[in-house]
Amino acid sequence: MSRPSAESKATAKARPVSLWRRISDALVDEIKRGVLTGGDRLPTDIELAERFECNKHTARRAIAHLEQEGLVRVEWGRGTFVVEGALLDRDATQAKLIHSLLDQHRNLRRQVVRMETVPATAVVARELRITLGSPCMLLVLLSEAGEAPLSLGFNYFPLKRLPSLANVNAQSQLTSVATALAAAGVKAHHRSRIKIGARLPSAEEAVQLRMARQQPLLETESVEVDGHNHPVAYSLMCFRADRLQFVVPS
Exposed, middle or buried by CB within 10 Å (0-12, 13-18, 19+), for 93? exposed
pTM (global) more than 0.75: no
Q: Quick one: pLDDT band at residue 133, thresholds 50, 70, 90?
A: very high
Average of pLDDT values for 54-74? 86
Spatial CA neighbour of 212 closest among 75, 42, 48, 102: 75
Q: What is the pLDDT of residues 4-50, one digit of tens each?
A: 555 444 444 545 678 898 898 999 888 888 888 878 889 988 999 99
Q: Please, what is the angle between helix 45-52 and helix 19-33, to 10°?
A: 100
CATH 1.10.10.10 maps onto the chain at 6-82
The domain defined by 93-240 folds into: Chorismate lyase (3.40.1410)
Q: What is the pLDDT of residues 119-131, one digit of tens each?
A: 999 999 999 999 9
CATH 3.40.1410.10 maps onto the chain at 93-240
C-alpha distance from residue 83 to each of 36, 67, 107, 207, 222 (Å): 10, 9, 22, 10, 28
The domain defined by 6-82 folds into: Arc Repressor Mutant, subunit A (1.10.10)
The reported pLDDT for the residue numbered 124 is: 97
